[in-house]
């Protein structure tokens, strides 16, 4: 069946047409670009040809073979731009009409479209044919016995254009730029505009480098098609737009430059980011646009965070099951900040620690603590949390993180329904500070006698087990140590410090002195179950869970207030409580002797409802033929 391509389509697009949605043929495809994959087409309307760049979101159509040499396509969304004084079509959206067809007509390259001496376009010779043969023909796949080819017209030698005298002012094109989707933005466009909502706004930051002092801030945009992109402003542009931009408002933005996104700092799924310049425009849209969502999430179940890469940025949603008090932390630069740790669980059967830093502790963190203390367990959605893999997986806030308490979204509603219908009492395994490196992610229960009888901890790698046991004795000598409070990255140093002659504390690791040190637990605890007893070492978080107060409070009672009565009451009140201990077991060298050291990495109060389910599951597993009553 003959196919009629759109007549004069190439000429119309070169003249600025963007609405005719022409039917054209792909007569050549070439993969170009080094760091970023891009495809260049040679399009034909059966008489003329024109080079075109394919928007990256359409690359999959070429990779899967839906578009190939000879394909008949309809251009749905496109523009024609000038790149290095050459006209090139940028295809933003298209539809494949016929996947494979013989070359139609005898298309020719338009006069002047090929540079002298085959001058190259940007990105690996944009206009150079992808294949060359002895007769310089383009070829396209076609059905058997129907293959055709065409001869490009031989171009005349290049001649410079005539030098006309300027006889009047040149009229500037003041027509407003066409609004396009964020997903269609690329550096090959000339004039563009986007309409989008601000979903996040970063803090104003100051910096100093070889070129001097400066300031910078960024904000994230979301449009009605779900496209996201980051916008960055520097120096004088900051003064123009920092106070203009408000989270939640919709703006019309144009005349910015597009550059490759810096993925070390940009978590959005877009290969470009916008840099606003002195001539850029940002206009507030006064009317609310309901077609643009207020936020867009890409939630990951907590169980998937176990396999997430360290420092990756992701969204997570869960039920807040516990909130720890906010504590002051001294950063390495001498500035003090706040830290608060809470725990999230979801229907995947796993829980994860979320660490709040800075203002998050006193705003959302305080509200969450009040809700949990009053018996409410809110749903928390975390937008752009950072994964940390230190001794397990956890999530931390960064400057671009956003927290949403009980958000109005389907995922939150589903999670709330699950929690109220039985998820509240479902046991969950924490993926924070208790993963077995390279081993099974399932909980391994052992009795204290089994730890010894099975020789755990004597291999090259440590063994990780869970034991249900009761605290029967706590040593009170050297129960804590003086620690460095400075921050190294997003972690506290915690190395032991010594007091110098000037009464200041010195950290050999950080090579800094400070007025006050931190106090961290180093508890020696004897635990017992129905099979036997053993000694374990509990560090900071585990020690706080066992004693119910901080190491600093206990230190002040014993050594500064010398209130031995109160100190002893606290110790005795914590005996004979039963816990689930997550234990790390490893053989270490003490002098010339090998000893097995058991360290407590996590302590949980026994949830007797969940524990009963666990025991019933064990009975069912070990006695599958037992009758159910």
Closest by alpha carbon to 356, among 415, 295, 397, 317? 397
| Res 1 pLDDT > 80 | no
Interatomic CA distance for residues 292 and 392, integer angstroms: 38
Q: Are residues 345 and 205 in the same domain?
A: no
Contact 362, 338 (CB under 8 A): yes
Contact 105, 46 (CB under 8 A): yes
Interatomic CA distance for residues 313 and 226, integer angstroms: 18
| Res 583 pLDDT > 50 | yes
Tens of pLDDT, residue by residue over 198-234, are 998 888 888 888 888 889 999 999 998 888 999 999 9
Q: Are residues 461 and 561 in the same domain?
A: yes
Burial (Cβ within 10 Å: 0-12, 13-18, ≥19) of residue 136: exposed
In a domain, 202, yes or no: yes
Q: Are residues 382 and 423 in the same domain?
A: yes
Number of Cβ within a 10 Å radius of residue 344? 23
pLDDT cut 70: percent of the chain above it: 83
The dihedral region occupied by 226, where left means phi > 0, alpha psi between -120 and 50, and beta the remainder, is left
**pLDDT for 185:** 85
Pick from 284, 313, 342: which residue ends a domain? 284
Tokens of 522: 């180093």
Residue 309 DSSP code: P
What is the rounded average pLDDT of the residues 273-301?
Answer: 88
Q: Are residues 462 and 593 in the same domain?
A: yes
In a domain, 112, yes or no: no
Domains identified in the chain, total number: 4
Q: Cα torsion at 57, 62, 68, 69 (round to 10°)?
A: 80
Tens of pLDDT, residue by residue over 23-49, are 999 999 988 765 567 788 999 988 889
User: Which residues, at least 6 apart from 374, have a Cβ–Cβ distance to it below 8 Å?
Assistant: none
Q: Are residues 279 and 305 in the same domain?
A: no
What is the rounded average pLDDT of the residues 246-269?
Answer: 86
Contact 66, 80 (CB under 8 A): no
Q: Are residues 424 and 456 in the same domain?
A: no
Interatomic CA distance for residues 318 and 415, integer angstroms: 7
**pLDDT for 125:** 37
pLDDT cut 90: percent of the chain above it: 33
Under DSSP, is residue 387 helix (H, G, I), strand (E, B) or coil? strand
Closest by alpha carbon to 4, among 40, 42, 47? 47
Q: Are residues 248 and 318 in the same domain?
A: no
Pick from 54, 72, 98: which residue ends a domain? 98
| Res 561 pLDDT > 70 | yes
Interatomic CA distance for residues 113 and 298, integer angstroms: 45
**pLDDT for 379:** 95
In a domain, 128, yes or no: no
In a domain, 224, yes or no: yes
User: Which residues, at least 6 apart from 459, have a Cβ–Cβ distance to it below 8 Å?
Assistant: none
Closest by alpha carbon to 353, among 408, 327, 316, 383? 316
Mean pLDDT value across the chain: 81
DSSP annotation string for 338-354? EEEEEEEE-TTSEEEEE
Interatomic CA distance for residues 156 and 621, integer angstroms: 85
**pLDDT for 438:** 33
User: Which residues, at least 6 apart from 5, have a Cβ–Cβ distance to it below 8 Å?
Assistant: 22, 23, 24, 25, 44, 45, 46, 72, 104, 105
Q: Which residues pair with 28 in a beta bridge?
A: 42
- pLDDT-based confidence at 625, cuts 50/70/90? low
Interatomic CA distance for residues 532 and 450, integer angstroms: 9
- pLDDT-based confidence at 356, cuts 50/70/90? very high
Under DSSP, is residue 586 helix (H, G, I), strand (E, B) or coil? strand
363: domain range? 299-430
Interatomic CA distance for residues 181 and 192, integer angstroms: 10
The enclosing domain of 578 has a CATH number of 2.40.50.140
What is the rounded average pLDDT of the residues 246-260?
Answer: 91
Highest mean pLDDT among 55-64, 136-145, 347-356, 427-436: 347-356
**pLDDT for 326:** 82
In a domain, 19, yes or no: yes
Q: Are residues 385 and 324 in the same domain?
A: yes
Run of H or E including 371: helix 364-373
Sign, CA dihedral 119-120-122-128, equals: positive
Q: Are residues 470 and 551 in the same domain?
A: yes
Run of H or E including 453: helix 448-453
In a domain, 215, yes or no: yes
Tokens of 423: 């998820």
What is the rounded average pLDDT of the residues 263-274?
Answer: 83
Q: Are residues 465 and 601 in the same domain?
A: yes
In a domain, 500, yes or no: no
Q: Are residues 273 and 379 in the same domain?
A: no
Q: Are residues 277 and 306 in the same domain?
A: no
Tokens of 9: 């389509």
Pick from 41, 72, 98: which residue ends a domain? 98
In a domain, 514, yes or no: no
**pLDDT for 130:** 35
**pLDDT for 434:** 43
Sign, CA dihedral 494-498-504-508, equals: negative
Number of Cβ within a 10 Å radius of residue 354? 27
What is the rounded average pLDDT of the residues 172-199?
Answer: 78
Interatomic CA distance for residues 551 and 164, integer angstroms: 86
């Amino acid at each position: 069946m003959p196919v009629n391509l759109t007549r004069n389509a190439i000429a119309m697009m070169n003249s600025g047409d963007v609405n005719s949605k022409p039917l054209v043929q792909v007569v050549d495809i070439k993969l170009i670009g080094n760091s970023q994959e891009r495809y260049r087409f040679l399009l034909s309307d059966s008489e003329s040809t024109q080079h075109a760049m394919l928007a990256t979101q359409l690359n999959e159509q070429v990779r899967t073979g839906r578009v190939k040499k000879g394909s008949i396509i309809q251009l749905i969304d496109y523009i024609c731009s000038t790149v290095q004084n050459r006209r090139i079509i940028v295809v933003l959206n298209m539809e494949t009409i016929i996947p494979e067809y013989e070359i139609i007509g005898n298309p020719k390259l338009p006069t002047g479209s090929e540079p002298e001496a085959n001058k190259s376009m940007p990105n690996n010779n944009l206009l150079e044919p992808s294949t060359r043969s002895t007769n310089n023909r383009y070829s396209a796949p076609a059905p058997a016995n129907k293959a055709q080819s065409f001869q490009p017209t031989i171009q005349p030698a290049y001649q410079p254009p005539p030098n006309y005298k300027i006889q009047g002012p040149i009229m500037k094109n003041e027509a407003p730029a066409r609004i396009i989707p964020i997903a269609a933005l690329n550096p090959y466009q000339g004039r563009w505009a986007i309409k989008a909502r601000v979903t996040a706004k970063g803090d104003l930051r100051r910096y100093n480098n070889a070129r001097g002092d400066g300031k910078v801030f960024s904000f994230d945009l979301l449009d009605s098609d779900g496209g996201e992109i980051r916008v960055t402003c520097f120096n004088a542009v900051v003064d123009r737009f920092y106070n203009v931009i408000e989270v939640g408002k919709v703006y019309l933005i144009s005349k910015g430059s597009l550059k490759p996104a810096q993925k070390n700092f940009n978590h959005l799924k877009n290969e470009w980011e916008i840099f606003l310049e002195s001539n850029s425009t940002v206009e507030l849209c006064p009317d609310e646009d309901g077609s643009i969502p207020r936020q867009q999430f890409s939630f990951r179940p907590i169980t998937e965070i176990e396999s997430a890469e360290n420092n990756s940025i992701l969204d997570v949603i869960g039920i807040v099951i516990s909130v720890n008090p906010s504590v002051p932390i001294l950063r390495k630069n001498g500035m003090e900040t706040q830290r608060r740790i809470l725990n999230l669980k979801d229907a995947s059967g796993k829980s994860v620690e979320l660490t709040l830093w800075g203002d998050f502790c006193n705003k959302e963190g305080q509200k969450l603590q009040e809700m949990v203390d009053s018996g409410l367990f809110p749903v928390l959605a975390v937008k752009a949390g950072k994964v940390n893999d230190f001794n397990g997986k956890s999530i931390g806030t960064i400057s671009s993180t956003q927290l949403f308490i009980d958000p109005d979204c389907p995922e939150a509603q589903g999670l709330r329904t699950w929690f109220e219908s039985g998820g509240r009492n479902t046991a969950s395994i924490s993926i924070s500070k208790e993963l077995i490196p390279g081993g099974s992610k399932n909980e391994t229960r052992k009795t204290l006698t089994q730890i010894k009888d099975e020789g755990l901890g004597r291999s090259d790698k440590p063994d990780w087990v869970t034991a249900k046991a009761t605290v029967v004795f706590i040593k009170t000598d050297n129960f804590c140590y003086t620690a460095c409070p400075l921050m190294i990255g997003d972690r506290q140093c915690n190395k032991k410090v010594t007091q110098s002659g000037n009464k200041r504390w010195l950290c050999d690791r950080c090579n800094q002195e400070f007025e006050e040190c931190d106090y961290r637990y180093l508890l020696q605890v004897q635990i017992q179950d129905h099979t036997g007893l053993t000694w374990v070492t509990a560090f900071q978080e585990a020690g706080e869970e066992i004693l119910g107060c901080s190491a600093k409070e206990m230190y002040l009672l014993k050594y500064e207030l010398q209130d031995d009565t109160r100190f002893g009451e606290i110790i005795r009140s914590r005996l004979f409580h039963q816990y689930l201990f997550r234990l790390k077991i490893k053989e270490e060298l003490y002098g010339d002797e090998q000893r097995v050291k058991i360290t407590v990495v996590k302590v949980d109060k026994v949830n007797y409802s969940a524990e009963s389910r666990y025991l019933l599951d064990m009975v069912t597993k070990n006695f599958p033929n037992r009758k159910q009553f």
